[in-house]
Amino acid sequence: MLCIENEEKKGFLKKVWTYISEDCWWRLQDFWKNYVWPAYHIRNFFFYRYDMVKMPQIKRYEYSDVVERVLWANVELLKFFIEKERPEEIVVWYGENGPRYGTVKEMRTYFPEFVGEYVMDLMKKSYSWFTKDRVEMNKEKEYLLDVWYNWLSGKSYFVKCEDNPEFDVMKTDRSCIPTELSFFNDKNLNWNILDKYLDGDRENLLKENFIFNKHRDLEFKMDELDQKYLHLIIECRFYLWT
């Protein structure tokens, strides 16, 4: 009999503790967030700052043109939506009721190739490009530039201009550029990257400006994809809510 009373007492105390530690706490927290003015505004003012977009791609102490800030501000807003708001836990994005691109007759369609695709998949395409694919492509672009600069660009120097001695003219000594692939045997080149851009022939590495032109083409390709996925983010703007 005493054992049963003790068990009932423990069960009662457990319920009381659960109510105090969980229910009361969450009720108090919810009340503070939503009803006690100016708690909501203070929280946003010091912590959330919805009036600001932090762009880690841009250094705080350096100048940045608007051309870069327009891009990265939109990217960071998409990242915030995907990573912080976790929309897939709140909104139905797939199935019969999942929103699809280009199905609202009143809205103009700028990407006909994506008509009928789920909007969430389009957001994921943009998110994947800026957080994964672009990062890897940029590493390859920088590596091509390093290879060209270190071994294939020659040595630059300045000489006085014959017509006007007050000015200098830059010239390039290409005699130091390797002419055989064996030169790179001990240079630990990343052939996994280089082979992707040598058009199937490693001898192309020795051609004048071949690697530099590949670097430039890759730079143009990245700009093109940046613009494409920036537009795609804007196309999905009406769905960026939870």
Closest CA to 143 of 72, 183, 196, 180: 196
Per-residue confidence (pLDDT) for residue 114, from 0 to 100: 95
Expressed in percent and rounded to 5, the helix, strand and coil fractions of the chain are 60, 5, 35
Per-residue confidence (pLDDT) for residue 155, from 0 to 100: 84
pLDDT: which is higher, 81 or 24: 81
**200-214: per-residue pLDDT in tens?**
999 999 999 999 999
**55-101: per-residue pLDDT in tens?**
999 998 999 999 999 999 999 999 999 999 999 999 999 999 999 99
pLDDT exceeds 90 at position 38: no
Considering the chain, what percentage of its residues have pLDDT values greater than 90? 64
Contacts of 39 (CB under 8 A, 6+ apart): 32, 33
Per-residue confidence (pLDDT) for residue 50, from 0 to 100: 87
Contacts of 99 (CB under 8 A, 6+ apart): 93, 118, 119, 120, 239
**In angstroms, rounded to a whole number, what is the distance separating the alpha carbons of residues 95 and 16?**
43
pLDDT: which is higher, 164 or 86: 86
The ranges assigned to domains in the chain are 24-53, 54-239
pLDDT exceeds 50 at position 41: yes
pLDDT exceeds 80 at position 24: no
